[in-house]
Chain A
Amino acid sequence: MNEIDGRSRMAADSARTVDKTAGARPAASPGPAKLELIGIGKEFRTKRAHTQALSGIDLTISDGEFVSIIGRSGCGKTTLLRMLAGLLSPSAGQILIEGRSLWDGTKADTSVVSQLGVVFQEANLFPWYSVAENIALPLRLRGDGKADRLARAAELAELVGLGGFESSYPRELSGGMRQRVAIARALSTRPKLLLMDEPFGALDALTRERMNLELQRIALATEATVVFITHDITEAVFLGDRVVHLTPRPGRIRQVKTVEFQRPRSIDVQTEAAFGAMERDLRHALDDDEKG
């Protein structure tokens, strides 16, 4: 019930913003570059095949920006995200975080990585820890006290709609609930850079919508820079300052579209003509990928 209140309040807020700007003001003024991808490529070599997963990716993401990445299955989205997370070294190009190089050869500079929150395509929870312990694991690793951890875990569990499940174990949760625990875990350290790989893929439409609004709110409140991978065009447009469209084989940036709606946005922007037109363009472009 609370939720609905929150949602309508938010709707009213952004409707006002949208009115003021006639729905077509450029998104967040570009701050200093948070993340720079320069000529990123990745080739996988296995015994059977060489796969050029990504090639010539150039992208600059400014501080506080929300960038959605869409593309067909297998076009290299996860690969790109793993390189940004310091988990997989690029075979070509450079990744700069706040101007500092993330990769030194095949080694990630861990001091650059530390301000990072990652939500993987799979929840990857630890079955031996309760929901609260899973959420607070990043805090535990960096040495926060137990009381702080518990408080923060409870707060985050509430945020992702899992209040009351703190002492449950992952095996007792549904797939979507597990994914929400993983999101809470990534948020626990209040990261300045959030990398999310189809975080809401396992959720039903209504929960997804609610999580979209929450994510938007959190990203704005913490001034986090977000790289958000999704299959869902509506979600990509709704959340992103820009939408990056990757084409497969090899993964390249086909187009980058700027979404001309001020954030925060209400669910209602989805019914606006400009929103629909952008969705349609992207859908056609993605369809082309399949034919190509």
Chain B
Amino acid sequence: MRAFEYTSPKTVSEAADLLAEKGDLARVLAGGTDLIVQVREGKRHLERIVDIKDIPEANVLSYDPQAGLHLGSAVPCYKIYGDKAISAAFPALADSTHIIGGTAIQGRAAVGGNLCNASPAADTIPALIVLEATCIIAGTNGTREIPVEQFCTAPGITVLQNGEFLESLKVPAPKSNSSSFYLRFIPRNEMDIAVVGAGASVVLDDAKESIVSARIALAAVAPTPLFAEEASVLLAGRAASDESAIEEAAEAAKTIARPISDMRGSAEQRVHLVGVLTKRALNGAIQRVKES
């Protein structure tokens, strides 16, 4: 690896200053499961690494049934799926954190790191989108907030400006009669990158019979993870058992997929998978509401 300086600031403002001073030659280190590989392979040339794991705001993990989830950007995956209350409230987040790499990767990899790495195939991003997460971005001039679906702008690129970093994420408390689901298609059982990923969340009425609202999000079918807004909206008011509604949503989701063909799968296969996985994610989320 090329030489760089290692810093471990204790405060948000110190981190922002350390980043601002070096511009593109500085990067945040969370779990390092993407960053260390990228630096080692020469894909990134850095003069400074800013380890945020000593900053209290980046390590917050608090859940309250009214206030929702506050998730520090450096919190590793295992802490999320290992927390029963958080897994029960945000099943799609538990689904996605549980399939990132293997045990040793999950011991380090953060959801914040997965988001900031901005891979089109990142597993937690569709989950965050369907759960309506908000990004809290810290910089040299204080903090700003944006919805997670606007965070990634291109493969590996985010809205973060010089001196800014992701401090934490906020996820609103789940509404009553709601649930969520994330799944992906991979050719192996574990330890692989999504060919396609799909997340869904649904809110049902009190009788758990009709859909009040839904959200669908997709991974690995465009330069960034996508919020399938039109497909989501058309489910409002439809019966939860109406397979034709689920089918229509799946077809609508397919129309926004713009996948590439690569060694993991052809564009045609990916579009087909969007349909299959969208249906499974929606039905999975509906099933979870009914079982709750």
The reply to whether chain A is a binding partner of chain B is no
Give B contacts to A, CB under 8 Å: none
Give A contacts to B, CB under 8 Å: none
